[in-house]
Amino acid sequence: MSLSLKKTPIPEQDPKIRTNNFSEVALGYTEEDAATEAARCLQCKTAPCRQGCPVEVDIPAFIGHIKKGDIQAAADNLKAVNSLPAVCGRVCPQEEQCEKFCVLGKKGEPVAVGRLERYAADYLLKNAKPATPLKYAADAQKVAVIGSGPAGLTTAGDLAKMGYKVTIFEALHMPGGVLMYGIPEFRLPKSVVQAEIQVLKEIGVAVQVNFVVGKTLTVDELMDEEGYDAVFIGTGAGLPYFMGVPGENHSGVYSANEFLTRSNLMKAYRFPEYKTPIYVGKKVAVIGGGNVAMDGARTALRLGAEKSYIVYRRSEKELPARAEEVHHAHEEGIIFQLLTAPIEVLGNEQGWVRGMKSVRMELGEPDASGRRSPVEIPGSEFEIEVDVIVVAIGQGPNPLIQATTKGLATNKKGNITADPETGATSKPGVFAGGDIVTGAATVILAMGAGKKAARAIDAYLKEKK
């Protein structure tokens, strides 16, 4: 039988329907879809796909189990190395990771590793039996993990499996970090995130929410007074950047963080049943071209906006968002206002947003990032009428821990300085990884950093003992 050059498509909600709900867009493979897709995997001995996976998933092995119809074995195989496979299967940019190296990609489309990962992980969640609690030695060393986003959860899971007593400290009232407050329900259901965290709790990871390290207790206090032998900092890129244009404090200008947190974590999309309000008005402009911007624009549409714009200063080719997200946004009717840069937020007498003054841009020479940099076209000012503006131009590091921890070196941007291979910081026993070190990146890169740090913490603690 000749195998398809194309990936087995994943069933999706119709764009016309899904813009009216917050349910997941991609519905996941059926048993038949998964079998068809798994059959495409050549089971290469050299497994080039594996080099693309920051969390070291044994891709041919888990797909091999699916091929044989043993989904449980596939899931167990995934879960042994990856604490969050149901998350990765949904939000990893596989096209830049595992799938980029797939041999099938040379002639056609690569194996849909992400979709298969999701299929196996969801099988586990659906048929979940409580995980067996791990047995810890009486004198097991204690590790504090600060932040419960992808980096922290990965470090915590790996260290627990190595026999360490791990406590995760989370500032918000729910664990999950950006997986809970940032990525919308329609891309990553919150029940999936909580189910993956539940497994960590079952194997013995303690999760302390409502705990702001740097305020409630400092890193030094955790180590000196609370008896933690090592600390991992995975506090992410939580500090929103604004544009710095006039009128940005008008009512109706949100940071993407605020807009998405209200909708995702606080469930404002179910207002007034959930009491946190959110306002979209009729026309929303989201500034930026990354995944967060796509999330913002698509959320605005679902919240009832009649028009939802992506306003980006470069062209479509330079959009930093994943192609799949851009495709979904197009399907849903998001209006791409490209080569446009806002220069002023216009307000009414009450100080509410009524519009946005922008200039048109053209592309000049490539900049440091290799993308062609936008140059303003003189005299091209124009106005767009909008009710709400969501600023999604990036986030910086939250400075709280850096400011309250003795001897923790940071770079000019305020990111924690850490060894890329081990996560070791300038402070003995303190490791860091994810966006707090690299600046805003992806879930999977944060997880990869968490995995490396767990290994380094293990080595550090073995030596310390």
Partner 1 sequence: MYRITSISDLAPSIKLFKVEAPLVAKKAQPGQFIILRTDESGERIPLTIADFDRNAGTITLIFQEVGASTIDLGKFIVGDSLLDVVGPLGKPTHIENFGTVVCIGGGIGIAPIFPIARGMKEAGNEVISIIGARSSSIIFWENEMAKASTELHVTTDDGSTGRHGLVTNVLQEMIDAGKKIGLVVAIGPVIMMKVVAELTRKYNIPTVVSVNPVMVDGTGMCGGCRVAVNDINQFACVDGPEFDAHKVDFDGLIARQRFYKTQEKETLDRCLGEGGDHECRCR
Binding site for partner 1 (CB under 8 A): 171-173, 181, 209-212, 215-217, 238-240, 242, 248-252, 254-255, 257-258, 261-262, 266-267, 271-277, 279, 350-352, 398-400
Question: In the complex, what is the shortest distance from the CB of residue 284 to partner 1, in angstroms, rounded to a whole number?
Answer: 15
Distance, CA of 447 to CA of 155 (rounded, Å): 8
Kindly state the tokens that stand for 234.
């995975």
Closer to partner 1 by Cβ: residue 250 or 455: 250
Closer to partner 1 by Cβ: residue 136 or 279: 279
b/e 308-338 (16+ beta carbons within 10 angstroms → b): bbbbbbbbeebbbbbebbbebbebbebbbbb
Closer to partner 1 by Cβ: residue 254 or 460: 254
Closer to partner 1 by Cβ: residue 140 or 278: 278
Instruction: Report how far apart the first and last C-alpha atoms of the chain are (Å, whole number).
Output: 58
Question: In the complex, what is the shortest distance from the CB of residue 86 to partner 1, in angstroms, rounded to a whole number?
Answer: 23
Closer to partner 1 by Cβ: residue 111 or 388: 388
Contact 431, 230 (CB under 8 A): yes
Question: In the complex, what is the shortest distance from the CB of residue 243 to partner 1, in angstroms, rounded to a whole number?
Answer: 11
Distance, CA of 356 to CA of 49 (rounded, Å): 45
Question: In the complex, what is the shortest distance from the CB of residue 271 to partner 1, in angstroms, rounded to a whole number?
Answer: 7
Question: CA 326, 14, 194, 136 torsion: positive or negative?
Answer: negative
Question: In the complex, what is the shortest distance from the CB of residue 115 to partner 1, in angstroms, rounded to a whole number?
Answer: 32
Contact 232, 433 (CB under 8 A): yes
Question: In the complex, what is the shortest distance from the CB of residue 417 to partner 1, in angstroms, rounded to a whole number?
Answer: 20
Closer to partner 1 by Cβ: residue 63 or 437: 437
Question: In the complex, what is the shortest distance from the CB of residue 266 to partner 1, in angstroms, rounded to a whole number?
Answer: 7
Closer to partner 1 by Cβ: residue 163 or 439: 439
DSSP character for 407? T
Kindly state the tokens that stand for 260.
């998405």
Say what angle helices 150-161 and 190-202 make with each other, to 10 degrees: 30
Closer to partner 1 by Cβ: residue 202 or 258: 258
- Listed in sequence order, the residues at least 6 apart from 47 whose beta carbon sits closer than 8 Å to its beta carbon are 58, 59, 60
Question: In the complex, what is the shortest distance from the CB of residue 181 to partner 1, in angstroms, rounded to a whole number?
Answer: 8
Instruction: Please provide residue 204's backbone torsions phi and psi, each rounded to the nearest 5 degrees.
Output: 115, 5
Distance, CA of 451 to CA of 55 (rounded, Å): 6
Contact 401, 393 (CB under 8 A): no
